[in-house]
């Protein structure tokens, strides 16, 4: 197993169990070996001792049997009769004959004085001492005696019994030679190797019978082990094999001692342990095999699913949520896989949600700015390749802020949702409609040409013309759209969006509904951006100035009123037309500062002229924003007091649309101004959509007909009708009617006929700086003295 | 034992004599029964006395009595009082004989014509042991349970001898002088009885 593989769970589990098993088995084998050998040795020693006892018992038993047989033989009447004959030949033959009956190899007869009477081995030997007098002595006591003795250098089992008639009359000894057969018989019972050795009086050892195989016998004698083993227990090595040996002395006689060597092979004793060890070894190998196989199987059942989970985890990391973990079984892995799948679902759901939140506008469910930009980039990239045009539309609601401020955010949200809905309904699915923020929407038309886009823009404007129902009331929401196309206007996505934005502002300012981008807008826009800071500086540095345009009273022909118009003489640019900075100032809110400046100057001027008894009222334009706070009222009140100007000498002109955005608030401000005694005039009357109901509530003294009607009223019947109706309407409501934009005598005559109260315009005078205006006025006043001039 | 009594009485009636009381004890001082006491005239001259017949019964598979002393030349009958047969034999040098299986009284008595101990056995009952002790002298007796025996001897000098089947060694004779008065003799014997074989 290589090292990296070892890191795998599978390999580690398998390795652990294999090592554990090998350790346990090794300890077991060691124990079996060590204790086996010790047990075997102990066992051998014990076996030998037991074997020796058995051996001795066997010898005794054999002795007794032989003695019994001998005694029976000695009790044979014929035997005794033959003995009684005292005839040597007869005696020898009866001894041989009867000895043969019990397989005795030698029979001896001794008289009561232990003198040898006959010996079947040595028939010629007579009247010598019986060689084993000790045995006779024993037999006198026990009626029998036995021993293992050497006769002619050979070991014999000898029994001595008396010949009874019925008192002992002689001793008969019967000898049975000890050979291998005897040894084997003994081994069969004692379970030991039996070897009979003799030690002669001269110290020479002879092996007589043994159960050992031939070579070992020789080894036994050669090694001299026999001599060494005489002392008792001990291990004897024979032909490389160890034998535990015990050597009891069996008997001694005149020729020497007979020793039995009882041996047991250590190998034989160890054999059961060797077998056990073999079985253990086989079992160990088998167990190791099984353990490896089992561990691998179990580990695999763990690691495979884990690996699969890891693979899936990697694909999750790479954003692929399509793969699910296979849930196999009810075990922990199965649970893990199930949990994994839950986690996967959770992650995928959350990611979807995050993506949705990241790329979707939550209010309208339209794509958000980020997504829109992304799609725009994609569309531009595609378009670059295919050379197809792509168009971007920016859309801004005209009156959203008013609705939001006056009806609340909920209403605003409803408006946005409705607009989103209408846009989505109108446009194709391939078009992207996004809400960029606030009331700003954007549309991406991947295949639109700029001409086609104009049609789309008109359709959008039309669909937004329908009023939205808010709290049961129809509310109009106009929109302005800016359009920029690729590659016509730019070849970068974000630039296109910016261009569309510029175009939209142009459209808004021009009130033209939609505008297609023109590079020139960008210049104006650039100008505007720098204008803000410059305007700020201009206000602070008094670069602004007021021009005055006189209004003529058509009934008296006298000049009693003038409109103050702000003029900006830029140090480097020169004259900056109001249309270039007033709408801009209105957008940024800086208009309030401008208004303040204008009102301050106008009231101051009014004060001066009042002191000079010039008797001329000054009109000042105020913006929508000015009506939304109390600042204007407080400012006006303070200035009138400061410069001691009668309130009726000041007239504030408000546009019709200005109070439409927040009528209640505007009405409140107008009421307070009216209370001050300041004259109020509705400017640009007829261009807005204000209802007469509103107009009726307004505390105004005059209305001012927009110059767009006045300029063409002489030629255009419709405009003439509007002007006439407006004048009639104003008079009917008790209001003075002022017409502006009067550029010729016929216009003035026409208005005079219609009963218009006051007129202003280039025909009377263009706006003049203060000195020139005063000069013009004085000159005019001089003429006014003449009645004909007044009637002119 | 009863057979002995008439013998003694006869001796007392026949001659003027005196009684010799002999006491036999063993090494431990215990009285020894069944010991044969006999007297040999110191002169060596034995009277010509006709030997008397004797009887050795076999009762209940035992020789009864255990020991009978007889005078040389006596004939002894071996009546079988058991209802089984016996085969009485002797391989003793003093008298070798055997009476083949018989019951009741054997056809002829056995004449003991050599002095010395004769061990009797039964060939089919190994434990049966009896002794006939053949003495040359007519003067002999056997100790009773008390270990004593009495010899009525005519006046004179005698060598008293003792014999017992288990006697380890022969004891020297004791000389006694008999002259009308009773004499005393005592023997201390060393016995070596063989292991008792059990009947079966």
Of A81, A83, A166, the CB nearest to B121: A166
Q: Are A753 and A774 in contact (CB under 8 A)?
A: no
User: Rounded CA gap, A179 and A199, in Å?
Assistant: 16
Q: Spell out the residues 6+ positions from residue A714 whose beta carbon is closer than 8 angstroms to its own.
A: A720, A746, A747, A750
Q: Are B160 and B172 in contact (CB under 8 A)?
A: no
Q: Spell out the residues 6+ positions from residue B144 whose beta carbon is closer than 8 angstroms to its own.
A: B1, B33
Give the sign of the dihedral formed by CA A400, CA A401, CA A407, CA A409: positive
Q: What is the 3-state secondary structure (H, E, C) of B131-194?
A: EEEEECCCCEEECCCCCEEEEEEECEEEEEEEECCCECCCCCCEEEEECCCCEEEEEEECECCC
Q: DSSP string of A171-213?
A: EEEEEEE--HHHHHHHHHHH-SEEEEEEEETTS-EEEEEESS-
| Shared fold status for B17-46+140-185 and B47-136 | yes
Using alpha carbons, list the distances in angstroms from residue A471 to A407, A474, A475, A661, B98.
9, 8, 10, 17, 166
Q: Are A265 and A257 in contact (CB under 8 A)?
A: no
In tens, the pLDDT along A423-441 reads: 999 888 888 899 988 888 9
Full pLDDT tens readout for chain B, 200 residues:
344 444 444 444 445 678 889 999 998 989 999 999 999 998 888 888 888 899 999 999 999 999 999 999 999 999 998 888 899 999 888 998 988 888 888 778 899 999 999 999 998 888 899 999 999 999 999 999 999 999 888 888 999 999 999 998 888 999 988 887 788 889 999 988 877 666 66
- What residue of B is the nearest CA neighbor of A83? B91
From chain A, the residues in CB contact with B165 under 8 A are: 167
> Domain residues of chain B, as ranges?
17-46+140-185, 47-136
Q: Which residues does residue A442 pair with via DSSP β-bridges, in sequence order?
A: A394, A434
Q: How remote is the C-alpha of A195 from its chain's centroid? A: 85
Which class is domain B17-46+140-185?
Answer: mainly beta
In tens, the pLDDT along A640-655 reads: 999 999 999 999 998 8
From chain B, the residues in CB contact with A80 under 8 A are: 91
Give the closest-approach CA distance of A121 to chain B in angstroms: 26
- What residue of A is the nearest CA neighbor of B196? A143
Interface of A with B (CB under 8 A): 75, 77, 80-81, 83-84, 141-143, 164-169
Write out the H or E segment, with its range, that includes residue A503: helix A493-510
Q: Which of A129, A105, A99 is nearest to A117 (CA)?
A: A129
Cis peptide before A166 (omega within 30 of 0): yes
- What residue of A is the nearest CA neighbor of B122? A166
Of A75, A142, A169, the CB nearest to B91: A169
Q: What is the DSSP letter of A52?
A: H
Reported confidence tier of residue A43, pLDDT bands at 50, 70, 90: confident
Give the closest-approach CA distance of B129 to chain A in angstroms: 6
In tens, the pLDDT along A597-634 reads: 999 999 999 999 999 888 899 999 988 778 887 888 99
Sheet with B110-111, edge to edge strand ranges: B54-55, B75-77, B110-111
Give the sign of the dihedral formed by CA B81, CA B82, CA B83, CA B87: negative
Give the sign of the dihedral formed by CA A18, CA A22, CA A24, CA A28: positive
- Dihedral angle, C-alpha A713, A719, A723, A729, nearest 10 °: 170
Q: Is the CB of A81 less than 8 angstroms away from the CB of B128? A: no
Q: Which of B180, B181, B175, B149 is nearest to B163 (CA)?
A: B149
In tens, the pLDDT along A481-540 reads: 998 888 888 888 888 888 888 888 888 877 788 888 888 777 666 666 677 778 888 888
Give the closest-approach CA distance of B12 to chain A in angstroms: 36
In tens, the pLDDT along A460-493 reads: 998 888 888 887 888 888 889 998 888 888 888 8
Those of residues 75-134 in B touching chain A at CB distance below 8 A are 87, 89-92, 96, 119-123, 126-129
Q: Which residues of A226-245 are buried (b: 16+ CB within 10 A; e: fewer)?
A: beebbeeeeebebeeebbbb
Give the closest-approach CA distance of A141 to chain B in angstroms: 7
- For residue B68, the model assigns a pLDDT of 95
CB pairs under 8 A between A and B: 38
Q: Which residues of B2-20 are buried (b: 16+ CB within 10 A; e: fewer)?
A: eebeebbeebeeeeebbbb
CATH number listed for the domain at residues B47-136: 2.60.40.420
User: Rounded CA gap, A307 and A8, in Å?
Assistant: 10
Q: Please tell me the pTM assigned to this model.
A: 0.48
From chain A, the residues in CB contact with B92 under 8 A are: 165, 169
Q: Is A513 helix (H, G, I), strand (E, B) or coil?
A: coil
User: Rounded CA gap, A60 and A161, in Å?
Assistant: 15
- For residue A158, the model assigns a pLDDT of 92
Q: Which of A69-83, A222-236, A300-314, A761-775 has the highest mean pLDDT?
A: A761-775
Six-digit token pair at A675? 């209370």
Q: Is the CB of B165 less than 8 angstroms away from the CB of A167? A: yes
Q: What is the DSSP letter of A256?
A: E
Tokens 């005039």 correspond to A681
Q: Is the CB of A165 less than 8 angstroms away from the CB of B126? A: no
Q: How many CB atoms neighbour CB A564 within 10 A?
A: 26
From chain B, the residues in CB contact with A164 under 8 A are: 121, 126
- For residue A657, the model assigns a pLDDT of 67
Q: What angle do CA B100, B102, B103 make, to 5 degrees?
A: 165
Write out the H or E segment, with its range, that includes residue A620: strand A617-622
Interface test mutation site (partner A, options B61, B66, B91, max chain A beta carbons within 10 A): B91
CB-count exposure of residue A317 (10 Å: 0-12, 13-18, 19+): exposed
Q: Is A162 helix (H, G, I), strand (E, B) or coil?
A: strand
Q: What is the DSSP letter of A648?
A: G
Of B96, B129, B195, the CB nearest to A166: B129
Q: Spell out the residues 6+ positions from residue A111 whose beta carbon is closer than 8 angstroms to its own.
A: A117, A170, A171
ipTM value: 0.80
Of A75, A83, A143, the CB nearest to B195: A143
Give the closest-approach CA distance of A165 to chain B in angstroms: 6
Give the closest-approach CA distance of A83 to chain B in angstroms: 9
User: Rounded CA gap, A593 and A308, in Å?
Assistant: 71
């Amino acid at each position: 197993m290589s090292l990296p593989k070892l890191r795998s769970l599978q390999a580690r589990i398998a390795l652990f169990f294999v090592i554990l098993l090998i350790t346990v088995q090794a300890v077991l084998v060691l124990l079996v070996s060590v204790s086996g050998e010790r047990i075997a040795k102990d066992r051998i020693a014990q076996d030998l001792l037991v074997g020796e006892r058995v051996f001795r018992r066997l010898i005794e038993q054999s002795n007794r049997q032989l003695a019994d047989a001998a005694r029976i033989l000695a009790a044979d009447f014929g035997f005794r009769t033959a003995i009684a004959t005292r005839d040597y030949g007869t005696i020898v033959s009866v001894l041989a004959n009867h000895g043969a009956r019990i397989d005795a190899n030698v029979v001896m007869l001794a008289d009561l004085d232990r003198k040898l009477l006959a010996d079947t081995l040595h028939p010629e030997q007579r009247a010598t001492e019986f060689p084993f007098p000790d045995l006779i002595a024993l037999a006198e006591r026990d009626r029998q005696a036995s021993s293992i003795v050497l006769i002619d250098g050979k070991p014999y089992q000898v029994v001595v019994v008396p010949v009874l008639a019925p008192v002992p009359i002689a001793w008969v000894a019967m000898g049975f030679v000890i050979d291998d057969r005897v040894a084997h018989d003994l081994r069969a019972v004692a379970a030991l190797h039996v070897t009979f050795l003799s030690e002669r009086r001269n110290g020479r050892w002879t092996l007589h019978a043994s159960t050992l195989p031939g070579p070992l016998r020789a080894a036994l004698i050669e090694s001299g082990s026999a001599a060494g083993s005489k002392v008792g227990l001990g291990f004897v090595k024979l032909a490389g094999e160890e034998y535990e040996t015990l050597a009891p002395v069996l008997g001694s006689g005149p020729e020497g001692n007979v020793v039995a060597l009882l041996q047991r092979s250590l190998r034989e004793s160890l054999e059961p342990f060797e077998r056990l060890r073999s079985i253990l070894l086989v079992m160990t190998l088998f167990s190791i095999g099984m353990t490896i196989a089992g561990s691998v199987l179990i580990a695999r059942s763990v690691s495979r699913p884990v690996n699969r989970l890891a693979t899936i985890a990697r694909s999750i990391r790479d954003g692929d949520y399509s793969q699910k973990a296979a849930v196999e079984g009810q075990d922990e892995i199965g649970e893990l896989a199930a949990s994994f799948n839950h986690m996967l679902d959770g992650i995928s759901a959350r990611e979807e949600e995050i993506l949705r939140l990241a790329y979707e506008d939550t209010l309208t469910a339209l794509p958000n700015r980020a997504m829109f930009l992304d799609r725009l980039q994609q569309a531009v990239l595609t378009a670059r390749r295919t050379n197809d045009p792509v168009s971007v539309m920016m859309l801004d609601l005209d009156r959203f802020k008013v609705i939001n401020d006056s009806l609340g955010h909920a209403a605003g949200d409803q408006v946005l949702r409705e607009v989103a809905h209408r846009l989505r309904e109108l446009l194709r699915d391939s078009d992207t409609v996004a809400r960029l923020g606030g009331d700003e929407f954007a549309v991406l038309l991947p295949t639109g040409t700029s001409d086609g886009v104009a049609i789309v823009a008109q359709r959008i404007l039309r669909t937004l013309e329908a009023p939205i129902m808010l709290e049961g009331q129809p509310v109009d929401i106009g929109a302005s759209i800016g359009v920029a196309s690729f590659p016509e206007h730019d070849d970068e996505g974000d630039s296109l969006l910016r261009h569309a934005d510029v175009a939209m502002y142009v459209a808004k300012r021009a009130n033209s509904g939609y505008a297609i981008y023109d590079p020139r807008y960008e210049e104006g826009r650039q100008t505007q951006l720098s204008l803000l800071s410059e305007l700020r500086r201009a206000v602070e540095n008094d670069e602004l100035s007021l021009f005055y345009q006189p209004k003529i009273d058509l009934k008296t022909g006298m000049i009693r009123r003038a409109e103050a118009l702000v003029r900006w003489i830029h140090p480097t640019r020169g004259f900056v037309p109001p249309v270039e900075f007033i709408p801009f100032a209105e957008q940024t809110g800086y208009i309030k500062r401008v208004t303040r400046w204008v009102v301050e100057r106008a009231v101051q001027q009014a004060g001066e002229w009042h002191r000079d008894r010039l008797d001329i009222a000054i009109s000042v334009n105020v913006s929508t924003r000015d009506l939304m706070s109390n600042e204007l009222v407080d400012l006006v009140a303070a200035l009138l007091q400061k410069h001691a100007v009668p309130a009726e000498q000041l007239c504030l002109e408000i546009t019709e649309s200005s109070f439409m955005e927040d009528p209640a608030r505007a009405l409140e401000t107008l009421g307070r101004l009216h209370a001050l005694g300041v004259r109020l005039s509705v400017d640009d009357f007829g261009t807005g959509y204000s209802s007469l109901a509103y107009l009726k509530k307004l505390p105004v003294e005059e209305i001012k007909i927009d110059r767009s009607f006045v300029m063409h009223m002489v030629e255009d019947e419709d405009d003439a009708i509007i002007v006439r109706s407006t004048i009639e309407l104003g008079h009917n409501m008790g209001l003075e009617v002022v017409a502006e934009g009067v550029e010729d005598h016929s216009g003035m005559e026409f208005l005079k006929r219609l009963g218009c109260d006051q007129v202003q315009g280039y025909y009377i005078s263009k706006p003049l700086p203060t000195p020139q205006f005063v000069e013009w006025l004085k000159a005019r006043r001089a003429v006014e003295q003449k009645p004909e001039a007044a009637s002119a | 034992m009863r057979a002995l009594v008439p013998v003694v009485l006869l001796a007392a009636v026949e001659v003027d004599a005196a009684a010799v009381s002999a006491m036999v004890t063993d090494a431990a001082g215990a009285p020894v029964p069944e010991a044969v006491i006999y007297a040999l005239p110191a002169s060596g001259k034995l009277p010509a006395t006709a030997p008397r017949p004797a009887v050795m019964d076999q009762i209940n598979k035992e020789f009864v009595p255990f020991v009978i002393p007889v005078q040389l030349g006596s004939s002894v009958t071996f009546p079988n009082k058991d209802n089984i047969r016996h085969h009485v034999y002797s391989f003793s040098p003093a008298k070798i004989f055997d009476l083949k299986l018989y019951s009741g009284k054997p056809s002829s008595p056995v004449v003991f014509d050599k002095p010395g101990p004769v061990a009797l056995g039964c060939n089919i009952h190994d434990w049966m042991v009896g002794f006939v002790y053949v003495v040359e002298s007519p003067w002999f007796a056997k100790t009773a349970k008390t270990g004593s025996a009495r010899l009525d001897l005519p006046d004179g000098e005698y060598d008293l001898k003792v014999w017992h089947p288990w006697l380890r060694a022969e004891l020297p004779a004791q000389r006694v002088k008999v002259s009308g008065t009773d004499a005393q003799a005592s023997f201390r014997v060393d016995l070596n009885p063989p292991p008792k074989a059990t009947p079966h």
